[in-house]
Chain A
Amino acid sequence: MADSVDVKKGLPANPEKATLEGKNKFLGMFVFLAGETTMFATFFGTYLGLRSGTASGPEPADLFQLPLVFIMTMILLTSSLTSVLATYAMKKNQFGKLKLWMWVTFLLGVTFLSLEIYEFVEYYEHGLGYTSSAFASSFYTLVGLHGAHVLFGLGWILLLLLRNRSRGITLYNAPKFYAFALYWHFIDLVWVFIFTVVYLMGIGG
């Protein structure tokens, strides 16, 4: 039962990896993300293979608006930074700061997702329906799947924050916050690839 004890006075330096359970969560998360990487790689491959299959529908260069996507990228990158600040706070046993930065991360994520929905609606109105062409299908699937990951992450963080709102940092919940942060960085990394492979290459040729 040692895991459940609130160690207010002496939290170890790396509370997320101090217990076997924490170590397991950490490694498990890494392996899971390795799998996610191959899954996203497959979707990237599909997109690259099909992106010229526009079937006389709209093409990437007709649609993409770099300013919007750039703002979205900045927002998501910032949310990664705030989640790092949150883990820092966790290691220093500053519960208030941990919560604060996690909430900021959450809000940035929500903003990102709203912009993405706005973006999709915009493209749809310019004639890029999901079924218009192989390009359209692969674009919406790849980017939409990333969006779904963001949504899942938002639900996750919300649960964590609500559940632990008044508990302090323990050896039991530190690994949970940490696992979330890993996941969030991963989502961010995938977006950087999307930004490059889909948007920059889509506009640049």
Chain B
Amino acid sequence: MVSEATNTRKKSVLWDWLTTVDHKKIAILYLIAGTLFFVKAGLMAVLFRIQLIAPEMEFISGQTFNELVTMHGTLMLFLAVTPLFFAFANYVLPLQIGARDVAFPFVNALGFWLFLSGGILLSISWFFGGAPDAGWTSYVPLASREFGGIGIDFYVLGLQISGFGTLISAINFIVTIINMRAPGMTMMRLPLFCWTMLITSMLIVFAFTPLAAGLLLLMLDRVFDAQFFIPGEGGNVVLWQHIFWIFGHPEVYILVMPAFGIISEVVPAFSKKRLFGYTSMVFAVLIIGFLSFMVWMHHMFTVGVGPIANSVFAIATMTIAVPTGIKVFNWLFTMWGGKLRFTTAMHFAASFVPTFVLGGVTGVMLAMAPVDHLYHDTYFVVAHFHYIIVGGIVLGLLAGLFYWYPKMFGHKLNETLGIIFFWVFYIGFHLTFFIQHILGLIGMPRRVYTFLEGQGMDTMNFISTIGAFMMSVAIIILVINIIYSALKAERVTEKDPWDARTLEWSTNTPIPEYNFAQTPQVRSLDPLFYEKIHGNGEMKPAEPLDDIHMPNGSILPFIMSIGMFIGGFGFISFHMDLFISPYVLIAIGGITFFGGMAARSLQNDYGYNIEKETVESMEKELS
């Protein structure tokens, strides 16, 4: 049987990456793909900021502007930030809980390839009649067949496919965290990044599924002439908004929770103190996760859902400020009186706190239903959510990047370049977005592609665009840093370059495919730190050294994703003039996907064993 062959045969590098089910390699794949989408979406922002640099510019057309804004938002939220967090989660999470792998390595690979093929499907829309142009929320009737271009079909199917990938990855994380923790790692000793990824994954399970349903309805409307959102035939347009925001609000927390987690790892590590109020942090995360499903209608205050609904949802929204405040104070108390080391990672983590708070404050302002009529669809909203998204989420991501980089790649990023990067980025960020609060208050609407002279908006828009340029320069500095460090910086051979606290720092660098030769025995919260104080600084093993069982690689996830891609394209091509019928494409795609699934269930994948002797010699070589 094919699957029972062991991994001894040497494979080509490309084949190795296409078939890998190793969580560490999948993490790198996520990191690369997420970064590419991030840069792409960032360039789009720069393009439409150039359009807005001066009144009545004619740099791009209104149509292109709409497409760029839509793609910018969609790419950032679905294809840049989520995969970047998944990169860290995939890499770090099994290590932090002392596991050899994730629960479903095959599903993990499938999740990545589906995410990627959905993203590519969305991106090729430019070549087939235009990108989606109805905003990342794709409100009907703007997005209906009557008014929306073919790009919306790409939006629907691209998100459907990549969302499915995200969903199955989330299930994988949940099962991994619950079932695969090392002995002694109780839930109340779980590192906070694991906690936040657990809650994030649960939010994905409960939020991406309504989205999938909504996207399916929109697809049926657009492609098969269903009547869900067509008022004349009994349909209802506000229904879309409900479905979308039942997904959309938790989505914000899906993005920000892992950032909370990263900050809660980085701050204690560089304050040389245990996280203040661990238990309250855990409960705050749980409460925020729960509440995030209760507030979706604050996005619909101006639709006219009625005063009662508005009041209830306004109050529910403001309630979230309480657990969020708890978290902020806990981070501050962790730093208070600690031995602070201002590494680049710590710069990002510490600066996260004030910017995130500012985004939270404007959020409470927006939650006041009557006042929201003034702010609604102005740049004030744009400023608010970018303070959360960039000032919170992206800073968290960058903190994580600098923090875990040595574990992932075997060398640190250069600290001087890192700190220069930080300041350029941080100043650029405030220049871009702080001023947009004021722009919004004096009445600049969002999603308009130009503005008139003499309304007092010229200078502020100019400054905002300069800020966007600065952030681009910062990203270039980061790229230089990555290249420079790869060429120059010394290899980090020690296990624990930051003097950190959690289990991932107890592994060898580079990490062998089996992670831990012997599963560690966890004796406390911050297990590695505990052993530094109470033991000899090394984790005690929980089992004797023995053969290690590993899963086989497989090409099927890749093939199945291609099937999804072809099938998805088939659904879109109903409104195209192709040489091939959509039904044929759908059939090919379906057979490939379900065929791959069948092949997987017919094959017996018992994995392979790494002999005890091999493990011993590998361990000796590494230490």
Q: A interface vs B, CB < 8 Å?
A: 1, 3-4, 20, 23-24, 27-28, 31-32, 34-36, 38-39, 41-43, 45-46, 49-50, 52-55, 130-138, 141, 155-156, 159-160, 163, 172, 176
Contacts and interface: CB of A to CB of B under 8 A. Distances in A.
28 contacts: A1-B549, A1-B609, A3-B606, A20-B180, A27-B179, A28-B175, A31-B171, A35-B205, A38-B205, A38-B210, A39-B209, A39-B213, A42-B213, A43-B213, A45-B243, A46-B213, A46-B217, A46-B228, A49-B239, A50-B236, A53-B235, A55-B234, A130-B225, A131-B227, A133-B227, A133-B234, A141-B216, A141-B220
Interface stretch (B77-85, B438-446, B594-602): B594-602
A130 B217 CA distance: 13
B136 interface: no
Contact of B233 (A42, A52, A133, A155): A133
A132 B232 CA distance: 11
B206 interface: yes
Given A4-B606, A133-B233, A39 B212 contact: yes
What's the dominant secondary structure at chain A's contact region? helix
A31 B206 contact: no
Contacts of B214: 42
A35 B549 contact: no
A55 B231 CA distance: 10
A131 B225 contact: yes
B175 A134 contact: no
Interface in B98-127: 103-104
A98 to B, nearest CB: 17
Contacts of A23: 179
Contacts of B142: none
B230 interface: yes
A23 B103 CA distance: 10
Interface of B: 103-104, 167, 171-172, 174-175, 178-180, 205-210, 212-214, 216-217, 220-221, 224-228, 230, 232-236, 239, 242-243, 246, 549, 594, 598, 601-602, 604, 606, 609
B206 A50 contact: no
Nearest to A56: B234
Nearest to B171: A31
A163 B602 contact: yes
B39 to A, nearest CB: 31
A50 B239 contact: yes
Contacts of A45: 242-243
Contacts of B225: 130-131
Contacts of A34: 205-206
B209 A42 contact: yes
A31 B175 contact: yes
A51 to B, nearest CB: 9
A155 to B, nearest CB: 7
A159 B228 contact: no
A24 B601 contact: no
B331 to A, nearest CB: 30
Contacts of B549: 1
B280 to A, nearest CB: 27
Nearest to B205: A35
B239 A46 contact: yes
B167 to A, nearest CB: 6
A38 B208 CA distance: 9
Contact of B171 (A32, A132, A135): A32
A168 B564 CA distance: 34
B326 to A, nearest CB: 27
B227 A136 contact: yes
Given A20-B180, A42-B210, 17 more contacts: A4-B604, A24-B104, A28-B171, A28-B174, A31-B205, A38-B207, A38-B209, A39-B210, A42-B213, A53-B234, A53-B235, A131-B224, A131-B225, A133-B227, A133-B234, A155-B598, A163-B601
A163 B230 CA distance: 47
Contact of A130 (B208, B224, B594): B224
Contacts of B227: 53, 55, 131-134, 136-137
Contacts of A24: 103-104, 175, 179-180
Contacts of A141: 216-217, 220, 226
